[in-house]
């Protein structure tokens, strides 16, 4: 089994209006005390030097991990000791980087950058609460290439208030021209507890319009050379995100930091969302059930590669029953699932309504 290590950096310059991830706004840097807490937990869980759990991938997520100093990132990478040539990803926001910082991250061992661009429209960025501009995104991508990053992912958020296909086209052009080898394209979702949930913005597309934007994005990304391999992820050949692929294949992953989730040996656990307790060492992981065949079905059906029924049986001793097979045939007839034998795979139209399909399939 492979292992992915996720390090949560819960600090941001400002909270975006749509964001429901655990983070603290109004921060300009990551305290050394927090980095020390991550190092402490790596030492405690990984038996002092992480040789027992040496990760195949390392992912700095947030929050805004690019608020780290390069020397802080270097200390964490050294302690994690990922396998040689292992994927080391750091999420970054355009307004938090400059040439020296990006060069420092590259020298520290980061070999994949994930840039939160979202849109090339400055008015949309302001509505989202993003503190950067399209020009800053363009500049950050140029600096990343100059620093030696050959593996760059860019985020696009779809179906924003007053969204148009032209806005998507401009954003895709910005990312493609900026050298992105991977693109994550997400539909905006209004999550409970966010600023958008309290004050819903005007001009949101309805569900049918949002679905049309998604299908348009799939077509345009394919035409630009980005192959879809997961509901929201597209890559040039060979640049698929290896860390997230571990999640979607029910491989082991260890998350450190407040609100970070883990699954080791099919047992799930998470850290409480309390930064102070994590720093002080008083927080402890909370058990959260196990990973079973249903999880594997749900996760594999996110992938265009689909679900191999023999692998499902081998790993989890689970097989689809006749009711489930009949339902899948109806999905094929309706155009939501790929026709024919072999792995069970959803079409782009099916991926949009994956949750509804899973609800019926796993009922």
Question: Residue 191 has what pLDDT?
Answer: 87
CA distance 209 to 213: 6
CA angle 65, 87, 18 (to 5 degrees): 35
Q: Are 67 and 96 in contact (CB under 8 A)?
A: yes
Question: Residue 307 has what pLDDT?
Answer: 97
Question: DSSP characters for 73-136?
Answer: HHHHHHHH-PPTT-EEEEEE-GGG--HHHHHHHHHHT--EEEEEEE-S-HHHHHHHT----HHH
Maximum Cα interatomic distance, the chain, rounded to a whole number of Å:
60
Beta bridge partners of residue 89, listed in sequence order: 59, 112
Return phi, psi of residue 107, to 5°.
-65, -30
Question: Residue 52 has what pLDDT?
Answer: 57
Signed CA dihedral, 59, 65, 70, 72: sign only: negative
The structural domains of the chain, ordered by start, are 3-246 (3.20.20.70), 307-363 (no CATH)
CA distance 107 to 111: 9
User: Could you report the average pLDDT of every consecutive run of 10 residues in the chain (363 residues)?
Assistant: 94 85 86 98 69 84 96 97 95 97 98 97 94 97 98 97 97 98 94 88 94 97 98 98 97 96 94 96 94 96 96 96 96 96 95 95 93
CA distance 236 to 229: 10
CA distance 293 to 273: 28
Signed CA dihedral, 211, 217, 218, 223: sign only: positive
CA distance 22 to 15: 10
How many CB atoms within 10 Å of residue 89? Answer: 24
CA distance 173 to 177: 6
Q: What SS3 state is found at 260?
A: coil
Question: Residue 50 has what pLDDT?
Answer: 43
Signed CA dihedral, 61, 66, 68, 73: sign only: positive
The predicted model scores a pTM of: 0.94
Query: Which two structure tokens, joined as six digits, stand for 274?
Result: 């309390």
User: What's the DSSP call for residue 67?
Assistant: G
- Please report where in the chains the tokens 């860390």 appear, as a residue: 243
Return phi, psi of residue 149, to 5°.
-75, 120
Over the stretch 110-132, which tens digit does the pLDDT of each residue have? 999 999 999 999 999 999 999 99
Close Cβ partners of 37 (under 8 Å, ≥ 6 residues apart):
278, 279, 281
Q: Tell me the CA distances in angstroms from 275 to 33, 193, 278, one per residue in order.
A: 11, 19, 5
Query: Which two structure tokens, joined as six digits, stand for 80?
Result: 């994690």
Per DSSP (E only), the strands in the chain are 3-9, 57-62, 87-92, 112-118, 152-158, 182-187, 227-230, 233-235, 252-256, 261-264, 267-270, 286-290
Nearest CA-CA partner of 261 in 251, 252, 271: 271
């Amino acid at each position: 089994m492979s292992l992915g290590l996720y390090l949560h950096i819960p600090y941001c310059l400002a909270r975006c209006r749509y964001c429901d991830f655990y983070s603290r706004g109004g921060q300009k840097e990551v305290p050394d005390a927090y980095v020390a807490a991550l190092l402490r937990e790596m030492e405690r869980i990984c038996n002092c030097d992480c040789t027992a759990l040496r990760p195949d991938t390392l992912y700095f997520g947030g929050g805004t991990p690019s608020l780290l100093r390069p020397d802080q990132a270097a200390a964490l990478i050294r302690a994690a000791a990922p396998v040689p040539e292992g994927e080391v990803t750091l999420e970054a926001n355009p307004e938090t980087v400059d040439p020296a910082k990006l060069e420092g991250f590259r020298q520290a061992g980061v070999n994949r950058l994930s840039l939160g661009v979202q849109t090339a429209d400055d008015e949309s960025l302001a509505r989202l609460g993003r503190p950067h501009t399209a020009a800053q995104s363009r500049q950050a991508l140029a600096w990343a290439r100059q620093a030696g990053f050959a593996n760059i992912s860019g985020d696009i958020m779809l179906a924003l208030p007053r969204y148009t296909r032209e806005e998507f086209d401009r954003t895709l052009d910005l990312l493609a021209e900026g050298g992105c080898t991977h693109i994550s394209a997400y539909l905006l979702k209004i999550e409970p507890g966010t600023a958008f949930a309290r004050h819903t913005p005007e001009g949101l597309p309805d569900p049918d319009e949002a679905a049309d934007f998604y299908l348009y994005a799939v077509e345009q990304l394919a035409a630009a050379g980005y192959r879809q391999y997961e509901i929201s992820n597209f890559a040039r050949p060979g640049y698929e995100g290896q860390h997230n692929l571990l999640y979607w294949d029910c491989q082991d992953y260890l998350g450190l930091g407040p609100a970070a989730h883990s699954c080791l040996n099919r047992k799930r656990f998470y850290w409480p969302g309390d930064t102070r307790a994590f720093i002080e060492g008083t927080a402890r992981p909370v058990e959260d059930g196990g990973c079973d065949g249903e999880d594997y079905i749900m996760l594999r059906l996110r992938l265009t590669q689909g679900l191999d029924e023999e692998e499902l049986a081998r790993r989890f001793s689970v097989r689809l029953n006749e009711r489930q097979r009949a339902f899948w045939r109806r999905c094929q007839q309706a155009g939501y699932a790929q026709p024919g034998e072999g792995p069970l795979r959803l079409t782009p139209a099916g991926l949009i309504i994956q949750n509804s399909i899973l609800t019926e399939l796993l009922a």
